Amino acid sequence: MTGEKPRLIVGISGASGVLYGLRALDACRDLGIESHLVMSRSSVLTLAQETSLSPADVQARADVTHKVGDVGAPISSGSYPTLGMIVAPCSVRTMSEIATGVTSSLLTRAADVTLKERRPLVLMVRETPLHLGHLRTMVRLAEMGAVIAPPLPAFYAKPATVAEMVDQSVGRALDLFGLDWKPVKRWGEDIQALKGEA
């Protein structure tokens, strides 16, 4: 991507937690990263349940928006350079489809391409509790090179709001691409490490 703005693919699936995807798009803008958004059909339903935003509002936060059915989009090809892909949030259905390699949408095709090109694929999986099938699927994905990064609250950062918890999770996921987003509170820097006896 010499001479070009770096690109990150942001997938938003239908799991609860659409705010993670929204803040990932905001972070890309803050960091000067070109965001390529693809939303699953189910994510539109979740968006309506969890926010007052429309799909157009979400798309306005991205630099480039791709239709989920457009399997010929640039991000469906490994020859199109990107930093990788984050799926935030990632549903179990999306996770499972990526694990099989039998992709039925641009979201999962782009994830598959990310894996085959050995680029970072970060899945912010949103499900609990997990049964054995879920866990085995996660192991399979980890063996394929994906990073399973459930958005869990970091209480050591002493978040005062839900927004701060979301930003910490998104920022830590972006760390996996080598991206340093300002809202992240870091142990030993922003947060004083406890000094104790060994």
Is residue 180 one of the residues assigned to a domain? no
49-56 average pLDDT score: 98
Residue 5 falls within a domain, yes or no? Answer: no
Contacting residues for 32 by C-beta, under 8 A, at least 6 apart: 5, 6
Q: Would you say residue 198 has pLDDT above 60?
A: no
Residue 158 CB coordination number (10 Å) = 9
| Alpha-carbon span 5 to 34, nearest angstrom | 6
Average pLDDT over residues 1-14: 87
- Would you say residue 107 has pLDDT above 60? yes
More confident residue, 55 or 197: 55
Q: Write down the mean pLDDT value for the chain.
A: 95
CA dihedral 49, 28, 164, 139 (to 10 degrees): 80
Question: For residue 36, what is the domain's CATH number?
Answer: 3.40.50.1950
Nearest to 149 by CA among 99, 95, 112: 95
Q: How many domains does the chain have?
A: 1
Can you tell me the distance from the alpha carbon of 188 to that of 22, in angstroms, rounded to the nearest whole number?
A: 28
Whether the per-residue pLDDT at 12 is higher than 70: the answer is yes
Q: Is 118 left (phi over 0), alpha (psi -120 to 50) or beta?
A: left
Whose CA is closest to 55, among 89, 85, 21? 21
Residue 101 in tokens: 């390699």
Cβ neighbours for 11, distance < 8 A, ≥ 6 positions apart: 21, 37, 38, 39, 40, 85, 86, 87, 88, 90, 94, 107, 110, 111
User: How far is 170 from 35, CA to CA, in rounded Å?
Assistant: 14
Look at residue 4 in the predicted model and tell me its pLDDT: 83
Phi, psi of 12 (to 5 degrees): -120, 115
Task: Name the band, by pLDDT with cuts 50, 70 and 90, for residue 197.
Answer: low
- Reported as a pLDDT band with limits 50, 70 and 90, residue 195 is low
What's the pLDDT score for residue 61? 98
In a domain, 181, yes or no: no
Q: Is the pLDDT of residue 140 over 90?
A: yes
In this model, does residue 3 exceed pLDDT 60? no
pLDDT at position 1: 53
Binning pLDDT at 50, 70 and 90, where does residue 134 land? very high
- 150: pLDDT confidence band, cut at 50, 70 and 90? very high
Residue-number span of the structural domain to which 115 is assigned: 17-175
Mean pLDDT along residues 12-41: 98
Residue 9 maps to a domain: no
62-95 pLDDT, tens digit per residue, is 999 999 999 999 999 999 999 999 999 999 999 9
Q: Does any domain span residue 78?
A: yes
What's the average model confidence in pLDDT over 140-147? Answer: 98
**Section 114-129 average pLDDT:** 98
Confidence band for 166, pLDDT divided at 50, 70 and 90:
very high
